[in-house]
């Protein structure tokens, strides 16, 4: 066993698991790197730690510094963890599309939260508005350090030094080599860092970027999308296209239904960008002669009231393919000591027998 001197020591070295049932009609050649094993439950802990540590090393932070960043939520959570350990106050600028669960986590982690909102189009991406706010606040507030995940080279560098290297170590230690790696794209930090390291190791490994349909990182028409974290309407400086072989788009419908399937068939609870990456990999894996790795950016706990809510999906017009997320069966025990009738019916519910399965 290892003793970690603080929680930051547990960032990175996330596991890789085989995907079994989802792809079993094809070959069992799909693997997933689970970034929700990081302490803030997402890939973004890696960049938060590297950006702040490097800024400290460069003398850009002092005891009066305030950390200020725009985030769809996960970078804010990572930065809040790093800020608490290192003792800086921090301000996180989210927008109204940020899931409530992420807001609650930011609060619990002691961040000061600013939420940008508008009465306009429901699913319009507000990233650029958030960045505008940060740029104005930076000029007005004193002692502010803006990590700027969209441009700071220490974001992709975290993935070059660690995530990419971990994938190489996995291949060398297990003998399981990947022909293609599917990576979700937002700021570009993850894909740019991993692709640079992987192409140095073996340029024949395909790097495939995945963005929401409606995002314009790989061209195409701008439109609304519900996947939180990936995608943008502008091309961040940290998105380096040089080592990306292919950019593909995935609809909310396909991404969210794949989240449901990952949970129900593999027991892997993840967010929408992970569903998007996995959908794309399963769609393309027969065209790729060899093993495929999906980097899954975050866990599903932050989306229980959205992606994992039939009601929310239906309100948003997403067709739910597997509407079998179970109800809670309430047993009122007032005046009741014999539960046998309830228990007998429960059997029908568990086995999904429609004649006997109503409680
Ligand atoms: C859940 C989720 N998936 C994917 C991404 C995209 O990762 P990157 O910004 O490194 O391109 C993000 C970024 O915020 C995210 O939060």
Q: What is the pLDDT of residues 251-273, one digit of tens each?
A: 999 999 999 999 999 999 999 99
Mutate which of 43, 72, 231 for ligand 1? The one with the most ligand atoms within 8 Å of its CB, which is 43
For residue 310, pLDDT over 70 is answered with yes
* Tens-digit pLDDT profile for residues 59-85: 999 999 999 999 989 999 999 999 999
Over residues 113-118, mean pLDDT? 96
Confidence of residue 204 (pLDDT cuts 50, 70, 90): very high
For residue 298, pLDDT over 90 is answered with yes
Q: What is the value of pTM for the model shown?
A: 0.95
Over residues 26-33, mean pLDDT? 86
Does residue 299 line the site of ligand 1, with CB under 6 A?
no
| Whole-number pLDDT of residue 324 | 60
| Whole-number pLDDT of residue 323 | 64
C-alpha closest to that of 84 among 116, 58, 52: 52
For residue 39, pLDDT over 90 is answered with yes
Mutate which of 44, 210, 278, 303 for ligand 1? The one with the most ligand atoms within 8 Å of its CB, which is 44
Does residue 189 line the site of ligand 1, with CB under 6 A?
yes
Number of helical H runs and strand E runs in the chain: 11, 10
| Whole-number pLDDT of residue 349 | 84
Does residue 298 line the site of ligand 1, with CB under 6 A?
yes
For residue 183, pLDDT over 90 is answered with yes
Question: Helix, strand, coil: what percent of the chain each, to 5?
Answer: 40, 15, 45
C-alpha closest to that of 14 among 191, 169, 185: 169
Burial 236-273 (b: 16+ CB within 10 A, else e): bbbbbeebbeebbbbbbbbbbbbbbbbbeebebbbbbb
Does residue 276 line the site of ligand 1, with CB under 6 A?
no
Architecture of the domain made up of 44-145? 3-Layer(aba) Sandwich (3.40)
**CATH number of this structure's domain 16-38+154-303:** 3.40.50.1100
Domain boundaries, the chain: 16-38+154-303, 44-145, 328-359
For residue 316, pLDDT over 90 is answered with yes
Sign of the alpha-carbon dihedral angle for 335, 341, 343, 348: negative
For residue 50, pLDDT over 70 is answered with yes
| Whole-number pLDDT of residue 120 | 81
- CATH fold match for the domains 16-38+154-303 and 44-145: yes
Confidence of residue 328 (pLDDT cuts 50, 70, 90): confident
Does residue 193 line the site of ligand 1, with CB under 6 A?
no
Taking the centre of ligand 1 as the mean of its atom positions, its distance from the CA of residue 75, in whole angstroms, is 8
C-alpha closest to that of 252 among 232, 279, 270: 279
């Amino acid at each position: 066993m290892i003793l970690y001197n603080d929680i930051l020591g547990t960032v990175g070295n996330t596991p890789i698991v085989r995907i079994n049932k989802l792809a079993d009609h094809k070959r069992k050649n799909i693997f997933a790197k689970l970034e929700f094993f990081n302490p803030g439950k997402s890939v973004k802990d890696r960049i938060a730690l590297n950006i702040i540590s490097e800024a400290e090393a460069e003398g850009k932070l002092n005891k009066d510094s305030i950390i200020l960043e725009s985030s769809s939520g996960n970078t804010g959570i990572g930065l809040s963890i790093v800020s608490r350990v290192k003792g800086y106050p921090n301000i996180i600028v989210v927008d109204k599309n940020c899931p409530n669960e992420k807001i609650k986590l930011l609060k619990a982690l002691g961040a000061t939260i600013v939420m940008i909102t508008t009465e306009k189009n429901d699913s319009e991406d507000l990233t650029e508005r958030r960045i505008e706010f940060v740029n104005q606040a930076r000029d007005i507030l004193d002692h502010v350090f803006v990590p700027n995940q969209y441009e700071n080279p220490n974001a992709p560098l975290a993935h070059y030094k660690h995530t990419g290297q971990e994938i190489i170590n996995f291949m060398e230690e297990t003998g399981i080599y990947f022909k293609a790696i599917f990576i979700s794209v937002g700021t570009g930090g993850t894909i740019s860092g991993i692709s640079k390291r992987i192409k140095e190791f073996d340029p024949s490994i395909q790097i495939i970027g995945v963005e929401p349909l409606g995002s314009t990182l790989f061209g195409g028409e701008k439109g609304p999308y519900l996947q939180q974290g990936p995608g943008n309407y502008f091309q961040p400086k940290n998105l380096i296209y040089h080592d990306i072989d292919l950019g593909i788009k995935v609809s909310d419908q396909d991404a969210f239904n794949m989240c449901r399937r990952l949970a129900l068939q593999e027991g892997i609870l993840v967010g929408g960008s992970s569903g998007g990456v996995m959908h794309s990999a399963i769609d393309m894996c027969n065209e790729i002669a060899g093993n495929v790795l999906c980097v899954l950016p975050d866990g599903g706990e932050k989306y229980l009231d959205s992606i994992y809510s039939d009601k929310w999906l239906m309100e948003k017009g997403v067709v739910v393919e597997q509407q079998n997320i179970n109800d809670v069966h309430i047993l009122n025990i007032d005046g009741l000591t014999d539960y046998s009738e309830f228990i007998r019916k429960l059997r029908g519910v568990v086995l999904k027998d429609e004649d006997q399965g109503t409680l």
